[in-house]
């Protein structure tokens, strides 16, 4: 037979849930092409370059 669950205290519940709400700053690196801060392993949002080549064509660059 199933055993009734015991009461979970507020502290035990909060401690278990606290791991889901950790806030960390994203790791930012400088773009070697334009020098802007960008997330690691992502194309630069300013110039569209990734690993030395342009992978995203910006709207402003087309005009």
As a whole number of angstroms, the distance between CA 56 and CA 60 comes to: 12
26-55: per-residue pLDDT in tens?
889 999 999 999 999 999 989 999 998 889
Most distant CA atoms of the chain, gap in Å? 73
∠33-39-40 over CA atoms, to 5°? 85
pLDDT at 35: 92
Q: Nearest-CA neighbor of 56 among 34, 28, 30? A: 34
Q: Where are the domains of the chain?
A: 26-56
Residue 56 has pLDDT above 80, yes or no: yes
pLDDT band at 16 (very low <50, low <70, confident <90, very high): confident
Alpha helices in the chain (DSSP H): 10-17, 59-62
The two structure tokens encoding residue 30: 């400088």
Residue 63 above 60 pLDDT? no
């Amino acid at each position: 037979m199933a055993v009734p669950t015991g009461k979970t205290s507020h502290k035990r519940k909060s401690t278990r849930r606290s791991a889901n709400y950790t806030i960390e700053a994203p790791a930012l690196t400088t773009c070697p092409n334009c020098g802007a801060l960008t997330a690691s392993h992502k194309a630069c949002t300013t110039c569209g370059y990734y690993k030395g080549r342009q992978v995203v064509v910006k709207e402003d660059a087309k005009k």
